[in-house]
Structure 1
Amino acid sequence: MSDIGHIVVSHDIVADILDLARPLVSDSDLGPLVNRVGSSRFVCIGEASHGTHEFYDWRARLSRRLIEEHGYTWIGVEGDWPDCWRINQWVRGRGDQDLGARQLLGLFERWPTWLWANEDVVDFLEWLRDWNSARPESKRVGFYGLDVYSLWDSLGEIMVWLEKYAPEAVESAMQAWQCFVPYQEDPHRYAWSTRLVPQSCEADVVALLSEVREQASLRAGDESAFDAEQNAEVAAGAERYYRTMVRGDRESWNVRDIHMVDTIDRIARHLGQGSKGIVWEHNTHVGDARATDMAQGGLVNVGQLLRERHGGEGVALVGMASFRGTVLAGAEWGAPERVLPVPDARPGSHEDFLHRALGEPAVLMFGDDRERPWLAARLGHRAIGVVYHPEREFANYVPTTMGGRYDALLWFEQTTALRPLRHEPPPREPEFETEPTGF
C-alpha cells in the first residue's frame, strides 16, 4: 500500500474508533453497556492480562451492575472447582463463615495464587456476600470455578463425598485413586509416565465418573451431589488434559476450553432455565477464536463455543485492552511474582490505534455493522499471560478482527499491577506450564 493509502486507512480506523467510543470515568458510564448486554443468558468479560488492577476492578463493577439491575445469578471464573466451591459456599452463607475473604483466598495454593488472592477479588467477594445476605437463599448469587487442573483435589473431594453418602461405592472408587497414588500427587509425573508406557488411568477415572454420576442421580437437586459430580468431571477432564499436554499437542487447549464450556452448561442446567451467568476469563478464552489466528491452528475457545451453543439465548463477549502500564506476572511458570513494565503498544496494533484515537479510558460498543473500518481490520491485539517478558513483547500480539471477536471493549490508556495478598514462595521443585504458550 502507498503511504497515501496507508494514511487514509489509518484515518478511517481512528475515525471509526472515535465514533464508537464513549468516556469511561465512573460506574454510571457503564450504563449503556449494561443495558445492551443485560438480556443475554451469558455475559463473558475478558481481560488482556491476569495481573492488571484496572481489568479486575472494572470487571467487578460491570458484574455488580449486571447482578443488581439484570438479575444475574452466578459467576464462573478461570479457577479450580474445589477452591471456588469453597468461595461459593462462603458468599452464599453456607460455609466457612468464621473466615474473612482474605483468609479464604489465602487457602489458594495453585500457582499463581495472586490470580485470585488479590485485593480486588477481596473487595468483590465481600460485596457479593453482603448482597447475598440480604436475599433469600434461592436468590443468592453463586461463584464457580470452570477450570480443569485440580486432579488430586477433586479426587479427594469425591472420596470424602462417597464415604459420607455412598460408602458402598468407595471400594470401587478406590481403583481410580490407587491408580494415581504412585505419582505422588504430581499430574505431570503421571502424564509423562503415559508417554513412556502406553498405560494410563483413563479407564479407572471414567469408571469413577460413571459411578459418581449414578450416585449423584439418586440425590437429584442436592448441592453436595452436584459438587461431587462436577469434581468427577474435573478428574476425568484433568486426566485427559495432562496426558494430552505432555505430547506437546495444542489439542490440550481445546480439551481445557471445551471442559470449561461443558462446566458452564452443567452450572446453567443445575441452576435452572431462569439462571443467567457471568464468565470471567482471559481475552484469549472470551474473545471468539474464529476472529483470530487461533482458528487456523484448529483451536476453539469459550467465547466461540458459547456463541455456537447458546447464540439464540444471548451471548455477549466483552474484551479489555490497554496501551501501557505495569502488570503482575512471573518470569517463568511457578516463579515468584514481579511487577513488570508494560511498554507502549506496538505501532499498527489495535492498542496503538485506540491510543491515537482516544488517549483516555473508554467503553466501545459494537452494533450490527461489523464491517466498519476498525471493526473489520485484522490487527495485532495484545495478550499478556501469567508469564511475561516485556523485552519480548512482539510475541504477545494475536491477529484479531475486533468486530468478530467481541461485542464490546473496555479501553484503558494506563494500567497498574494487581496487589497480591501475599508473595509467591519460590517453587519447591520445578513447575511445569499448564497451558500452551504464545496463545
Structure 2
Amino acid sequence: MRDAASFSLSNAIREAAHTLTGASADYDPLMRLVDDARFVLIGEASHGTHEFYAQRAQITKRLIKEKGFTAVAVEADWPDAYRVNRYVRGVRNDAEAIDALSGFQRFPTWMWRNADVLDFIGWLRAHNDALSTDQKKVGFYGLDLYSLHASMGAVLNYLDKIDPEAARRARQRYSCFDHYGEDTQTYGYVAGMGLTESCENEVVGQLIELRRRAAEYASRDGRVAEDEFFFAEQNARLVKNAEEYYRSMFRGRVSSWNLRDQHMAETLDALVAHLERQGRHPKIVVWEHNSHLGDARATQMGESGEWNVGQLVRERHESEAVLVGFTTYSGTVTAASDWDAPAERKRVRAALPESYEALFHHVGVPRFLLDLRDGEPAIKGLEEPRLERAIGVIYRPETERQSHYFYARLPSQFDAVLHFDETRAVEPLERTARWQAGDTGEVPETFPSGI
C-alpha cells in the first residue's frame, strides 16, 4: 500500500515533470539547463536498453548542432573507439559505419555494436562531411582501460612506422607480459599477490620515453602527426594504468573501481588538452553508465570510499558540467547471464516498491524529463535516499535486490533525470539464438554486477 506522502510526492513530480512526446522540442528544457556548459555527461541505467541509447543520441545531436559540442567520449576502449573517430572524421579506409565498429570484439560487443550506435555513427559521419573545415569536425573517443594488449599493439605499430629503434625497445619492455598471453587476470593475480615481479617499471618506462620524444614525433607532419602521436601516447598511458588496474583487482572492488574511473577522468582531461592545443574550444558529451556518471558522493558506493567520473568532473569543472541520468520501471534488456557469455534478451522485473523507479512509475507519465536543479517541492521530496537500479552487462533477476540496487540521493547525484517507464532491449548487430528467443529460463548466479 502506498501512503499519503507517496501519493503527494507522485503528484508533485507530475506537476514538475516535462512530458516527452517525441516532438522536436522535447529536450528544449534540457538545452536550457545545459546553457554554456562544456561537459554534458549522459548516463544509462543499463548497458542494453534501446531507449537509453536512442534518446542519448538525440540529445547529443542537438548538443552538437545547437551548442557546438566537439567530441563524444564513451565507456569504450581507446583503440576501438579511435577507429570510429577516424571514420567519422573521414581519415580511415572503412567504407561504412558498420566497418568502423568492427574493432569492438571484446565482450560485451553489443554495447557498441548495436543498431542505435550504428545509426548515430552514420549520422556523425554525414554531419562531419558537410562541414567546411576539419577543425570543426566532431570526434568519437573511448575512455576505458580494458584494452591492454590492443593498446600495446597500437604503440608498437606507431613506433614501427616512425622510429624502428624505439619500437625495438618498446617490444622488449612489453615482452614482460608474454608469459601470460592474453590472460590479464592471471597476470594481475600473480603480480598483485607478489608471486612474480610486476611489469610496472616496464610500462612506466615506455610511457616516459614516448613522452620525451613528443615534440619530435608530433611535429613531423602537422596536425595528422599530432593526432597520431596523441593516439599512441594515450595507448601507452592506458597500458600503464591497465597494468595497475589488473594488479588491483585482487585487492578489492574499491581499489580497482577507483583506478578505472580515475583513468577515464584523466583521459577526458587529456582529450581536452589535446583539442585545446589544436586551437579548439572543447565541449564534450560523455556516454557511460549511471554508476560512472552520477556523482558518487550521493550514493551508497561513495560512502564505501568509491569515486567516479561524475564526481571527478564536478570537482574539476564545477558549474561547467551537467550530469543526466536515465531510469526505467520494466521492460526488456540485452544482457548476459555471466561474464563472456552470449547476449540475451531478458525481461526486466518491475522495480522494487521502495525505489526511485517505482516512484516514477506511479507518476503515471510514460516518459518524462525532470530538472533536479529547480526548487520545486517534488525535488525536495526526492532528497531522501531511495533505492536505485543499475543493470550492467550481466543481469541477475533472481538476485535483483542484492545484485542491482543501491541507495542514492537523486537530486545530488544528477542535474536531470529522464524516466522511460517501459523500455526494450537494444538490438545487437549480431543476434545470438538466445537473444532471438528472449528470456527462456533461469539465470545462473555468479558475480553481482557487470557495470
User: What does residue 438 of structure 2 align with?
Assistant: none
CA distance in 2, matches of 1:157, 1:282: 27
Structure 1 position 71 matched with structure 2 position 68: yes
Q: Deviations over 1:95-136 (max 9, x none)?
A: 0242x1122223321001001000000000000000000111
Which segment is superposed worse, 232-241 or 391-400? 391-400
Would you say the 8 A contact 2:81–2:141 is kept in 1? yes
User: What does residue 300 of structure 2 align with?
Assistant: 293
Q: 1:177 to 1:436 in 2, by over 3 A?
A: farther
CA distance in 2, matches of 1:174, 1:84: 24
Would you say the 8 A contact 1:362–1:412 is kept in 2? yes
Q: Secondary structure at the match of 1:106?
A: helix
User: What does residue 236 of structure 1 align with?
Assistant: 240
Structure 1 position 18 matched with structure 2 position 17: no
Describe how 1:65-144 pairs up with structure 2 within 5 A.
65-98=62-95, 100-135=96-131, 136-144=133-141
User: What does residue 336 of structure 2 align with?
Assistant: 330
Which segment is superposed worse, 234-243 or 7-16? 7-16
Superposed displacement of residue 370, structure 1: 8.2
Would you say the 8 A contact 1:331–1:387 is kept in 2? yes
Q: Secondary structure at the match of 2:3?
A: helix
Would you say the 8 A contact 2:14–2:365 is kept in 1? no
User: What does residue 364 of structure 2 align with?
Assistant: 358
Q: 1:266 to 1:436 in 2, by over 3 A?
A: farther
Would you say the 8 A contact 1:80–1:150 is kept in 2? yes
User: What does residue 388 of structure 1 align with?
Assistant: 395
Describe how 1:21-420 pairs up with structure 2 within 5 A.
21-26=17-22, 27-98=24-95, 100-135=96-131, 136-194=133-191, 195=193, 197-218=195-216, 219=218, 222-272=226-276, 274-312=281-319, 314-369=320-375, 372-395=379-402, 396-420=404-428
Task: Kindly report the root-mean-square deviation, in angstroms, between the aligned alpha carbons of the 2 structures.
Answer: 1.9
Superposed displacement of residue 34, structure 1: 1.5
Which segment is superposed worse, 9-18 or 345-354? 9-18
CA distance in 2, matches of 1:247, 1:97: 41
Which segment is superposed worse, 63-72 or 196-205? 196-205
CA distance in 1, matches of 2:307, 2:376: 21
User: What does residue 429 of structure 1 align with?
Assistant: none
Letter in 2 for 1:356: H
Q: What's the TM-score, normalizing by structure 2?
A: 0.90
Q: Deviations over 1:252-277 (max 9, x none)?
A: 00000000000000001111161100
Q: Secondary structure at the match of 2:127?
A: helix
Which segment is superposed worse, 381-390 or 6-15? 6-15
Would you say the 8 A contact 1:78–1:281 is kept in 2? yes
Would you say the 8 A contact 1:12–1:373 is kept in 2? no
Superposed displacement of residue 392, structure 1: 1.7
Would you say the 8 A contact 1:336–1:423 is kept in 2? no
State the identity as a percent.
Answer: 43
Q: Secondary structure at the match of 1:376?
A: coil
Q: Deviations over 1:347-388 (max 9, x none)?
A: 021011101013310011122438843331210011101011
Q: Deviations over 1:390-430 (max 9, x none)?
A: 2221121120111000000111010000110014699xxxx
Superposed displacement of residue 28, structure 1: 1.8
Q: What's the TM-score, normalizing by structure 1?
A: 0.93
CA distance in 1, matches of 2:364, 2:41: 24
Q: Secondary structure at the match of 1:86?
A: helix
Structure 1 gaps, min length 5: 427-434
Q: How many equivalent residue pairs?
A: 425
CA distance in 2, matches of 1:308, 1:436: 29
Would you say the 8 A contact 1:47–1:282 is kept in 2? yes
Q: 1:170 to 1:384 in 2, by over 3 A?
A: same
